[in-house]
Amino acid sequence: MDEVARLTRPDRVHWCDGSDAEYAALVELMQANGTLLALNQTTHPRCYLHRSNPSDVARVEHLTFVCTREREDAGPNNHWMAPAEAHAKMDALFDGCMHGRTLYVVPYCMGPIDSPLARCGVEITDSPYVVANMRMMTRMGAAALARIERDGSFVKGLHSTGELDPERRFIMHFPEELTIKSYGSGYGGNALLGKKCHALRIASWQARTEGWLAEHMLIVGIENPQGETHYVAAAFPSACGKTNLAMLIPPEGYRRDGWKVWTVGDDICWMKPGADGRLWAINPEAGFFGVAPGTSTRTNPNAMAMLHHDTLFTNVALTADNQPWWEGIGDGQPAVDWQGRSYDPANGPAAHPNARFTVRINQCPSWSVHAEDPQGVPLSAIMFGGRRESLVPLVFEARDWAHGVLVGAAMASETTAAATGKVGVVRRDPMAMKPFCGYNFADYFAHWLSFDKPGAKLPKIFHVNWFRKGADGKFLWPGYGDNLRVIEWMLKRVAGAVGGNETAIGILPKREELNLAGLDLSAQAVDALLGVDIEGWRAELTAIGEYLDGYGARMPARLKAEQQRVAAALAGGEAPAKAAARA
């Protein structure tokens, strides 16, 4: 802190303790300087709105760097800069940048304070908005500082909003030094350094070194009518329904039968093999930083129920009576848009497409008390998925761990508004980690493969696609709560209760194995959802092979062999077990 203060030259230094009084003072300060607006305190007590600079509303992947001594360690999946060059560039920006401002020292813990899998950090920032968000998103304050003293190590993060100039904006990661430097942005993923920067980019490096995994995954508990709870981790790119799935409400028939869903986390999962050989997982976050547009009582009742008090909203619109509003909310009308202008449809959406809410996780009605278990929760299954209008079936199971790693490595999805750039473009996004893996993807895939060893009781791996469309351009699958029907089939596969239909790309449900009761699905829609387009998949496997080849000599031979095995099964038009036997 002394070193940073000499560089940044703040007027004041404040050590954050995470107390209620401190938070109240921050809110009062931001209201006074106009960076936080109180919402309707009758309908939304202790809820506030923050408006970002219009040039600072999403992650900036093209300005995000991984700075390792060797370029190959960062890999072609990351922008790279030599550490000395990056430090010099950033320190020049930080020089005197906090003059006239307060420097906040934010000690925080990612994960339950007493969890052996939790890791700590300290973020130094000049943004009270960042401090307020970090208080909701992490275990921040005195308890975290005490753990740091016990552990003797922590991730160092330095952040300044700077001038919010897009030409003077960089997010630098130094994984070998456990250090992050972020300048020129106040947006969540760029400024809340405990989130993507620490919990994924730096933690993925830590995890490889220490024998665990840091993943862009939700964690949800599925309780069946017999009272048994199975935990599932699921990786989806941002704004592809992770929060909705994490807070899923079972369809009426399932609720009547006694099914329950428990939320452990909606975005990040740290997992490690336990003494019993299973993978055990924690959610390192203490809150939600969720996408608001599209969230409604129809799509996510649990989310709506928790947003009526003690919530920070970012870049949403306002109704005439000062309530938050966004596209898809389902009721009310916008009066003021996300930039503070009188709403005019000619100016575009009322709320920014990447508008957010920040709220403590324990406000969620489906929050699981086991989210605080220090040892974590045991995983029965891992799901990968993305937005694919065609080709990819509703669900299929990988035949083993190596095939599952290939399925995750080959993930592709249409881009969303969570990152700058064009929306709707299909790109490879392995394990939904393309923007977040802190090292070379080839080494990352090898690390995943390394968990398949004698004695391991690894989760089954599945791939899902809620976004398949028909010829009319409409979604074939209803999604939302009805996704539990697919998860039920997965858990039956985990238990060995159904056989499935073995195909070249994996094991799909037989029509009679899926509970489709009460759904208005035509036979043609079911055929499309559960069909395998052999020709299309042959082209896909060729593209996957070319993608893997792009990582050069570091790409694990085992993963290439797995791609070739599936390609051979498709070429022969036969089930993979037969292809393997013939080989």
CATH of the domain at 332: 2.170.8.10
pLDDT over 70 (residue 285):
yes
Can you give the pLDDT at residue 475? 96
Residue 92 among known ligand-binding residues: no
Averaged pLDDT for residues 518-547: 96
Residue 189 among known ligand-binding residues: yes
Same domain, 307 and 411: no
Residue 195 among known ligand-binding residues: no
Same domain, 416 and 490: yes
Compute the CA torsion angle 202, 203, 208, 211 (nearest 10 deg). Answer: 160
Same domain, 190 and 254: no
Please indicate, yes or no, if residue 517 is contained in any of the structural domains: yes
The 10s digit of each residue's pLDDT in 323-371 is 999 999 999 999 999 999 999 999 999 999 999 999 999 999 999 999 9
pLDDT over 60 (residue 420):
no
The 10s digit of each residue's pLDDT in 289-298 is 999 999 999 9
Residue 160 pairs in a beta bridge with 183
**417 falls in which pLDDT band (50, 70, 90)?**
low
Domain that holds residue 86: 2-35+56-211
The 10s digit of each residue's pLDDT in 120-155 is 999 999 999 999 999 999 999 999 999 999 999 999
Same domain, 30 and 158: yes
Annotated catalytic, 120? no
Residue 224 among known ligand-binding residues: no
Please indicate, yes or no, if residue 566 is contained in any of the structural domains: no
CATH of the domain at 91: 3.40.449.10
3-state helix, strand, coil in the chain (%, to 5): 35, 20, 45
226 CB-near residues (< 8 Å, 6+ apart): none
Please indicate, yes or no, if residue 145 is contained in any of the structural domains: yes
Same domain, 146 and 187: yes
The answer to whether residues 242 and 214 touch, using CB atoms and an 8 Å cutoff, is no
Average pLDDT, the chain: 95
Same domain, 386 and 490: yes
Same domain, 339 and 233: no
How far is Cα 581 from Cα 44, in angstroms, rounded to an integer?
63
Residue 235 pairs in a beta bridge with 217, 384
Active-site choice (240, 269, 364, 437): 240
Residue 188 among known ligand-binding residues: yes
Please indicate, yes or no, if residue 49 is contained in any of the structural domains: no
Residue type, 244: N
Residue 331 among known ligand-binding residues: no
pLDDT over 60 (residue 460):
yes
Averaged pLDDT for residues 202-216: 98
Which of the listed residues 495, 513, 531 is the one where a domain comes to its end? 531
Please indicate, yes or no, if residue 81 is contained in any of the structural domains: yes
Please indicate, yes or no, if residue 439 is contained in any of the structural domains: yes
Same domain, 420 and 497: yes
Strands 64-66 and 79-80: parallel
Residue 187 among known ligand-binding residues: yes
Kindly state the DSSP code that residue 562 receives in the 8-state scheme.
H
Q: What's the distance, CA 81 to chain centroid?
A: 25
Can you give the pLDDT at residue 240? 80
Averaged pLDDT for residues 191-219: 98
CATH of the domain at 407: 3.90.228.20
Same domain, 103 and 159: yes
How far is Cα 575 from Cα 494, in angstroms, rounded to an integer?
20
Residue 216 among known ligand-binding residues: yes
**582 falls in which pLDDT band (50, 70, 90)?**
very low
The answer to whether residues 196 and 202 touch, using CB atoms and an 8 Å cutoff, is no
Which of the listed residues 157, 189, 211 is the one where a domain comes to its end? 211
Residue type, 60: V
Total of domains in the chain? 3
Which of the listed residues 184, 211, 238 is the one where a domain comes to its end? 211
Same domain, 145 and 276: no
Same domain, 316 and 424: no
Residue 59 among known ligand-binding residues: yes
The 10s digit of each residue's pLDDT in 84-123 is 999 999 999 999 999 999 999 999 999 999 999 999 999 9
Please indicate, yes or no, if residue 569 is contained in any of the structural domains: no
Which residue intervals of 273-317 are DSSP H helices? 301-306
Same domain, 396 and 320: no
How far is Cα 435 from Cα 430, in angstroms, rounded to an integer?
10
**What is the percent of the chain where pLDDT is above 90?**
92
Please indicate, yes or no, if residue 548 is contained in any of the structural domains: no
**416 falls in which pLDDT band (50, 70, 90)?**
low
* Angle in degrees, CA 366, 369, 375, rounded to 5: 130
How far is Cα 563 from Cα 265, in angstroms, rounded to an integer?
32
